[in-house]
């Protein structure tokens, strides 16, 4: 089942980010396949930046509840270098999502089962039910800023 939604305001999404913690697991460059390249607005085989992160509840318990892939279209060298460094990647990501420069956000929702890698990071078993939310963030001129795909656990936790 799929559902597509355009978000007119970003306050709710920004609130979600401030009420949780994002931990970067990996920052890398990877060649994108044709479908992803089309979404990123570049040629198939282009090397784009990918961030993998886990979102957790704030506080000491800090239970992870989402695994996120973030893809950036080709970037200028300075921004590319900041995104690939673990000490600057999250700050660079957050600055790209500044409410003053965002024009719109498009979301697509899909139900799916977790693969082994994501399940391991979320501390649940492979195949656990999840909700995938593909978000495309655009600036006020309509240019794509980034694609994010958080994969959220159902409220019913399935232990490892």
Beta strands (DSSP E) in 32-128 are 47-57, 64-72, 102-113
Q: What is the rounded CA–CA span in Å between residue 117 and residue 119?
A: 5
Whether residue 13 has pLDDT greater than 80: no
pLDDT in tens, 146-155: 999 888 775 4
pLDDT in tens, 58-68: 776 677 888 89
Q: Among 159, 147, 156, 154, which residue's Cα sits nearest to residue 68?
A: 147
pLDDT at 29: 96
Q: Among 112, 127, 133, 119, which residue's Cα sits nearest to residue 64?
A: 119
pLDDT in tens, 95-135: 998 888 888 888 888 888 888 988 888 888 898 888 888 89
Q: Among 148, 152, 128, which residue's Cα sits nearest to residue 137?
A: 148
Q: Among 22, 21, 94, which residue's Cα sits nearest to residue 59?
A: 21
Residue 2's pLDDT band (cuts 50, 70, 90): very low
Tokens 């800023």 label which residue?
A: 145
Residue 15's pLDDT band (cuts 50, 70, 90): low
Kindly report the pTM of this predicted structure: 0.82
Beta strands (DSSP E) in 95-143 are 102-113, 129-139
pLDDT at 137: 93
Q: What is the rounded CA–CA span in Å between residue 21 and residue 155?
A: 18
């Amino acid at each position: 089942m799929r559902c597509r939604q355009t978000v007119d305001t970003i306050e709710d999404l920004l609130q979600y980010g401030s009420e949780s913690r994002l931990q970067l697991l990996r920052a890398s460059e990877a060649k994108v396949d044709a479908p992803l390249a089309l979404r990123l607005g570049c040629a198939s085989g282009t090397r784009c930046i990918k961030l993998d992160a886990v979102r957790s509840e704030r506080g000491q318990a800090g239970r992870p509840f989402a695994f996120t892939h973030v893809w950036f279209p080709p970037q200028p060298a300075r921004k590319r270098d900041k995104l690939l460094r673990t000490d600057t990647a999250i700050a660079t990501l957050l600055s790209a999502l500044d409410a003053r420069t965002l024009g719109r956000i498009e979301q697509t929702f899909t139900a799916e089962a977790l693969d082994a890698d994501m399940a391991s990071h979320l501390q649940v078993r492979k195949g656990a039910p999840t909700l995938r939310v593909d978000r495309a963030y655009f600036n006020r001129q309509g240019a794509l800023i980034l694609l994010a795909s958080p994969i959220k656990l159902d409220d019913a936790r399935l232990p490892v």
